[in-house]
Every structure is written in structure tokens, then in C-alpha cells.
Structure 1
Amino acid sequence: MAAEDDREQDSGGDTFVARLRGLTDALMAATRAPAEALESTTRSFRPGALRLPPMPGALSAQQLRTIVEDVRAKRAQVQAFRAQLEVFDQQLAAFEESLEPLVEWSRNWADLERSLTDLWPRGLGGTGGSGPGPGPR
């Protein structure tokens, strides 16, 4: 049984050492990688191998196309807004027309009240007999 424990510890130790060695190798490769990448790049450098950024004219055309599309979308929004405003204006016109008879009726009622108050003598307003009527006996 002791022999089995020794083998398990040895295999555990071997695994640990193998993992540590793998980590060390990976770190060493990582430190060498930038230098090797630089060397391979300079060896394979050819003047035509690099891609240049897009020319300013092509970039301008793309930007202008984007602006045109944005303006087109804004105009479509304005047209939709106009349609909504037209419907709202029609609703307001209908409401205005429905209020006209009420305005006429209210004006007539005010005229009637005025004519009735003009018929009533000013002193007989029920203010405790201070008017021209008979006084206390």
C-alpha cells in the first residue's frame, strides 16, 4: 500500500513539474515572439505589400452618401409629421365648428340677462328696504 502512495505522489509530482515546465516554456516563447515576428516582417517587406488607407475622395463619397441618406430619412420624417399636423388641423377645425353654436347661445343668454336686469328697478334689489319704497311705520 505504501508503494501505491509513493507512485501517486510521484505521478502528482511529475504532473506538477510537467505543468511548471510547460508554463516556463510558454513564457520563454512569449518573450521571443515579438523579436521573431519583427524579423520575419522585415524579411518579407516589399514596398507594394502594405495596403494604404482609402483615398480621401472615396472617403468623401462614402460620407456624402451617408449624409444624403440621412437627409432623405429626415425628409420622410417631415412628410409624416406634415400628415399628422394636417389631421390635427382637421380635428381642430371640426372642434371650432362645434363650438360656434355654443358661442352664439352664450351671447344670446348674456343679452337676455342684460335685458331682464334693465327691466328691474335698481333700488328694489332686496337690500333691506333702502330704496324708494315705503319705509317703516
Structure 2
Amino acid sequence: MLRRRWWLSVLAAVAVIGLIGVGVARAVQRVRYGDIHTDGGSPVVAGPGHRFALAVPDRGASVGDHWTATVAPDGIVALVRSEQVAGNIVDRLIGPAVGGGAGTRYFVFAARRAGTVVITLHNCFRGCDRGADRRDTVWAVTVR
């Protein structure tokens, strides 16, 4: 009976530590990216001073993906940074292998003032030298 209680205590401690870890990871993600939006067709609403991120799948530069962002009109939101986060933990820790590096590209914006803006994320696959190699994802963003 004592042995069973010991294992239950260890299991409970591991579960609690795991939940705390997930909570801390989510809090760090929230501070770093703000609200994360993954569907280009859905409208985004933010308040002045808030941070938000638009996320798209990125197969990596070694495959030919090259993402850029355009914002029209200027001044309502500002691009804080663009970064790719690897899709698996090994790539996050030691870097992707040659020919690898797929994950998610985050475009992080700061809402500056009230208004409506259209943000277009462009993927120029392998240089965009042909029309079929370009893919655009469009978001309508309202800052209130």
C-alpha cells in the first residue's frame, strides 16, 4: 500500500510540473506574439498598443519559401518582426538539417492607432519568377 501511494505522489508531481510548464510556455508565447491568427479569411480586431501575429506555414528557405508582408495603408499597424519557428523540438534546439527547416512563420505587428488596414503576406516560392509560384494570404485588420 505504501509503495502504491509513493508512485501516485510521483505521478501527481509530474502532472503538476507538466501543467505548470505548459502554462509558462503559453504565457511566454502570449507576450512574444500577442494574439495569433492563422486563417487569412478571418478578420482581426486589436486595440491600440496591442500586439498580434499572423501565422503561415513555412517550408523553409531551402525548399524555396520566401515570405514578405505589405500593409496598406501605412501607420495603423507596424511590423515588429518576422520569424520562423521550427516545426519540431530537435530543429528548435540544434537547428534544422540541410534541406529541412519547415515550421511556422510569424509576422508580429503592433497596433498603433484606430483604423482599418489590409495586410497581405506574400510567399514567393523559388523567386516568384512565374505567376504560379506566388501565393498571397490576406487579412483585414481593424484597430479600435
Q: TM-score, normalised by structure 1?
A: 0.28
Between Structure 1 and Structure 2, the one with more helix by share is 1
Between Structure 1 and Structure 2, the one with more strand by share is 2
